[in-house]
Structure 1
Amino acid sequence: MSETAVNEMSFEAAMAELEKVLGQLERGDVALEESIALYERGAQLKARCETKLKEAEEKVAAITLDGDGKPVGTRPVEGL
């Protein structure tokens, strides 16, 4: 497991670590206590990925297009 705080991770870093965590849990070759710690870390990583995806979706939705479909600016998105 990474020592990086989950709330400081990029989407890509969180997703990569989540995949590693899932792989370890699926193999089932870790002790019970470590499995619990991995599960907890995995839940945090999943939440981080969901948050980062939601932020990206909101930014994309805020892009304003002109008549030709070209971006001309953005509008404020509530909560950002």
Structure 2
Amino acid sequence: MTETTRDLDGQVDVSGYSFEKAVAELESIVARLERGDVALDESIAIYERGEALKKHCENLLTAAENRIEKIRLDRAGKVQGVEPLDGE
């Protein structure tokens, strides 16, 4: 049995979720909220959970973007090095 880590609000911690797992759960939350058959208190709780998942996904995407590099070539077409994709 695996141990579940919870954050300060008692929610299951999403920091270890893969991007795909976080998006899948976020899509599930959106579908539940769009159906409109969730009690107000539960709607608020799952909305907050969705916000945490959204932030986690944004952080994962930013980290992935920061890892992407473009290859820099010299005039002869030989690899000279790499630089950030956005030219930073």
Q: Normalization by structure 1: what TM-score?
A: 0.73
RMSD, matched Cα: 2.6
Q: Structure 1 unaligned segments of length 5 or more: list them.
A: 76-80
Residue 6 and residue 69 in structure 1: after superposition, are their counterparts in 2 closer, same or farther (change >3 A)?
farther
Q: What is the count of residue pairs matched by the alignment?
A: 71
Match of 2:52 among 36, 40, 44: 44
User: Higher helix share goes to which structure?
Assistant: 1
- Indicate whether 1:20 and 2:28 are aligned: yes
Residue 56 and residue 32 in structure 1: after superposition, are their counterparts in 2 closer, same or farther (change >3 A)?
same
Q: Normalization by structure 2: what TM-score?
A: 0.67
Task: Tell me: higher relative CO, structure 1 or 2? Use CA pairs within 8 A at least 6 residues apart.
Answer: 1
Query: Residue 56 of structure 1 aligns to which amino acid in structure 2?
Result: A
Q: Structure 2 unaligned segments of length 5 or more: list them.
A: 5-11, 84-88
- Indicate whether 1:54 and 2:56 are aligned: no
Rg comparison, structure with higher value? 2
